[in-house]
A and B are shown apart, each in its own frame.
Chain A
Amino acid sequence: MREIKAKQITETVGNLCTKANFDIPEDVMKVLRDAHNREVSPQGKDVLKQIIENDEIAHNEEVPMCQDTGLAVFFVELGQEVHITGGLITEAINEGVRKGYKDGYLRKSTCNPFTRKNVGDNTPAIIHYEIVPGDKIKITMAAKGGGSENMSRVMMMKPSDGLEGIKKYIVERVKESGSNPCPPVIVGVGIGGTFERSAIIAKKSLLRPLDVPNPDPELDKLENELLTSINKLGIGPMGLGGRVTALAVHIIVEPCHIASLPLAVNIQCHSARHKEIII
């Protein structure tokens, strides 16, 4: 067993929260620059220029690139040979969120769903745990803003809807979202599992770097086909019209019940903030 102190997890999580909000991942920036080069709509091109400039300011001045610094979502791969000492891992992560969001001047956005009263420290974090072999912990933090999250859906399709039904629903979902989720978007798709599992894998698919193709050649083909269809919608950057509506489509597929065909579409805005660390 390898011992890892809860305090170290808190410290790490605090840093992840601030860094994820200040620094756009390099793969996303590269795709945004490509998008700026190929966008033909003048308004769309200007929006992409503003986004690139914005992300550079955020990095240089260590300020959040977007004021919506999100709910703090974590994907944690916990090695089963790890022994955490000095506290509970979930509490350690939440303490890291409190610290990171305070020290980094990040916006606290969690509230009571009924009274809408702000919790004040951006907890609780949304944490997805997976037990894996080994004696390390991999923590990935994703800051998920409300505007794009609100445009996401889980749809329990009928098995007879098949691939054509799935494709149609995904493109239609992006079309209906229009300008709301801050296009150009990244479309995370989860197919299979159960109702809740499809949503988790849709979100998890967004963690794959934009320059890494889907390891399954069939899914890679499907992702490219969907991206082409979505970019024909004409929505463009911030919905002002243009050729770049999405930067990528990412899909994860898992087996499902014989009666079911769960489909989740998790929309990610251009401000695709996530950062990981292995302890």
Chain B
Amino acid sequence: MGEVIRITAPLTDDTVSKLKSDDSVLITGVMYTGRDAAHKRMVDALNRGEELPFDIRGQIIYYVGPSPAKPGKPIGSAGPTTSYRMDAYAPALIKLGLKGMIGKGWRAKDVIDACIKYRAVYFGATGGAGALIARSIKKSDIIAYDDLGPEAVRRIEVVDFPAIVINDAYGNDLYVKGVEVYKQI
């Protein structure tokens, strides 16, 4: 864990190539949210030859199903959800230009391989820290799949969203590296 790096979303190839596993980052800019049911719909749409609800090139998808916003707030609690459930869909989206994913928990080999091949990164955010993370989300608008409720796709504007690089574009994995340092059995 070194100094905190400030980055801007959407991500450029240049930014992605500079990020290394174990880097702490603060993300500012625009991102999109999507989780289980939204991912299924997006990939089903692609398979039918239809367009995605937003231009995915360069974007970060945050795996989150926020709680409802209290009056006057842009969003409710908004911590990351477990990412492996999106593993079946992520490689297809990375191939189309998705540059970042934020969630929690390990990813399948296919996803890690796609990150290397197409230059993308997987960030971890602190699970359960939904009230804290929500403070960095300044604006939130549902742009697709409204009927999915908490799983709808949102366009969010963030300032200094805290995350850690887990899988970089070079095949490094903090979940493997970090545990190796501290394991005693």
Q: A108 with B149: in contact, given A67-B65, A147-B104, A147-B127 (CB under 8 Å)?
A: yes
Asked if residues B104 and A108 are in contact (CB atoms below 8 Å), the reply is no
Contact of A43 among B77, B129, B178 (CB under 8 A): B178
B22 contacts the other chain (Cβ, under 8 Å)?
Answer: yes
Q: How far is the CB of A244 from chain B (nearest CB, A)?
A: 10
Q: Which of A2-10, A155-163, A228-236, A254-262 contacts B (4 or more CB under 8 A)?
A: A228-236
Q: Is the CB–CB distance between A107 and B1 below 8 Å?
A: no
Q: Complex formed: what's the CA distance from A271 to B149 in Å?
A: 23
**Does the CB pair B132–A53 fall under 8 Å?**
yes
Residues 152-188 of A, flagged 1 when their CB comes within 8 A of B and 0 if not, give: 0000000000000000000000000011111000000
| A242 & B106 in contact (Cβ 8 Å cutoff) | no
Number of inter-chain CB pairs below 8 Å: 174
In the assembly, what is the distance between CA of A43 and CA of B184, in Å? 18
For the complex formed, measure the closest distance between the CB of A130 and the CB atoms of chain B, giving whole angstroms: 30
Contact in complex: A182, B128 (CB < 8 Å)? yes
Instruction: Give Cα distance in the complex from A67 to B24, angstroms.
Output: 23
Does the CB pair B184–A234 fall under 8 Å?
A: yes
Assess whether B114 is interfacial by the CB under 8 Å rule: no
**A53-B132, A107-B68, A234-B183 known; A240-B148 Cβ under 8 A:** no
Contact partners of A209 in chain B: CB under 8 A: none
Residue in A107, A179, A234, A270 whose CB lies within 8 Å of B65: A107
Chain A interface, number of residues (Cβ within 8 angstroms): 52
Contact B131 A180, beta carbon cutoff 8 Å? no
Name A272's closest neighbour in chain B (CB-CB). B128
Q: Which of A42, A107, A271 contacts B128 (CB 8 A)?
A: A271
In the assembled complex, A76 has its CB within 8 A of some CB on chain B: no
State the CA gap A46–B23 with chains docked (Å). Answer: 13
With A108-B150, A239-B175 known as contacts, the answer to whether A54 contacts B131 (CB < 8 A) is yes
Indicate if the CB atoms of A269 and B150 lie closer than 8 Å. Answer: no
Find B129's partner among A51, A106, A118, A233 (CB 8 Å cutoff). Answer: A51
Of A58-66, A90-98, A134-142, A189-197, the segment with at least 4 beta carbons within 8 Å of chain B is: A58-66
Contact digits for A33-62, partner B, Cβ 8 Å, 1 yes 0 no: 000000011110011001101110110010
Residue from A46, A51, A105, A234 within 8 A of B67 (CB atoms): A105
Residue of A nearest to B184 (CB): A232
Write the chain A residue with the least CB distance to B68.
Answer: A105
Contacts of A64 in B (CB 8 A): 67, 76-77, 130-131
Residue A68 interfacial (CB < 8 Å): yes
Q: Cβ of A43 and Cβ of B150 under 8 Å apart?
A: no
Indicate which residue in A53, A55, A239 contacts B179 across the interface (CB closer than 8 Å): A239
**B69 part of interface (Cβ distance < 8 Å):** yes
Determine whether A243 belongs to the interface, using a CB cutoff of 8 Å to chain B: yes
Q: Are B181 and A43 in contact (CB under 8 A)?
A: no
**Residues 168-185 of chain B: 1 if any A CB is under 8 Å from the residue's CB, otherwise 0?**
000000110111111111
Whether the pair B77, A182 counts as a contact (CB closer than 8 A) is no
Give every chain A residue within 8 A of B151 (Cβ-Cβ): 118
Q: Are B130 and A269 in contact (CB under 8 A)?
A: no
Provided the pairs A64-B130, A67-B76, A238-B124 are in contact, do residues A107 and B67 lie with their beta carbons within 8 angstroms? yes
Which residues of B are in contact with A by a Cβ distance under 8 Å?
Answer: 1, 22, 24, 36-37, 40, 64-70, 76-79, 81-82, 84, 104-106, 124, 126-135, 148-151, 162, 164, 174-175, 177-185
Q: Nearest 7 CB-CB pairs, A to B?
A: A241-B178, A234-B183, A234-B182, A182-B127, A180-B105, A54-B132, A232-B184
